[in-house]
Amino acid sequence: MGDKQSFSTSEVATYCHVTADTIRKWAEAGRIQVFKTPGGHRRIRRNDLLHFLKDNKLPIHPDFDNGLTTVLIIDHEKPVSALITRLLDRAQGTFQTHIATDAYQAGHHVATHNPSIIFLDLRLPGIDGLEICRHIKSSPNTANTHIIAMSAYCEDETTQRITEHGATLLMQKPFTPDDLRRAFAKTGIEIA
């Protein structure tokens, strides 16, 4: 699919494992956003399709991965993960979010999903956050990954050390949705 920006109902039906008639009915019911060509044919924009798949917890075909911003949250505190996830769910962009609560899960998600952005708790039990940051940034496969380090203890020395290890910034916990928006802006992503 590459960079294709709109799809016919038949193409969308293939991705959703339903018939084109089902896609037409979903469009008429307002479940999926469509537009019509001058010839009257229904088309679905790429972002609308990705939102639909995500909202309905349908699998996202690998052809669409290049349209997603993959975010990995490495933190054992559920309220922190929930805040980040909630902000991304409400955002206009298309995000794929994964959560890791320990070193094993973190390594698995980094290797499997190659995230664009990682929120990394520096004080996660059993993980040296500085070492994890250094390791991620030193690998050719993940060197371009933006790391947003998080800690309740943000001293000048910690900020300097984590940025020397390649983190984009250190964000102090607890943080607000506006703090998250500013953090995303530092990675080049604007969230309304």
Q: What is the pLDDT of residues 116-134, one digit of tens each?
A: 899 999 988 877 888 899 9
Residue intervals in the chain for CATH 1.10.1660.10: 6-59
Residue intervals in the chain for CATH 3.40.50.2300: 68-186
CATH number (3.40.50.2300, 1.20.58.760, 3.40.50.970, 3.40.50.300) of 68-186 reads 3.40.50.2300
The pair phi, psi for residue 74, each rounded to 5°, is -110, 95
* CA angle, residues 56, 88, 52, in degrees to nearest 5: 25
Q: What pLDDT is stored for residue 169 in this prediction? A: 92
User: Which residues fall within 8 angstroms of residue 122, CB to CB, at 6 or more apart?
Assistant: 129, 130, 149, 150, 151, 158, 162, 170
Most confident residue range from 1-5, 35-39, 63-67, 74-78: 74-78
Query: What percent of the chain is modeled with pLDDT above 70?
Result: 93
Between 166 and 126, the more confident residue is: 166
Handedness of CA 5, 10, 14, 18 (dihedral sign): positive
Which CATH number does 6-59 carry? 1.10.1660.10
**Cα 170 to Cα 159: distance, rounded to the nearest angstrom:** 6
Q: Residues 120, 132: contact at Cβ < 8 Å?
A: yes
| Per-residue pLDDT tens over the stretch 135-154 | 999 988 888 899 999 998 87
Q: What pLDDT is stored for residue 1 in this prediction? A: 45
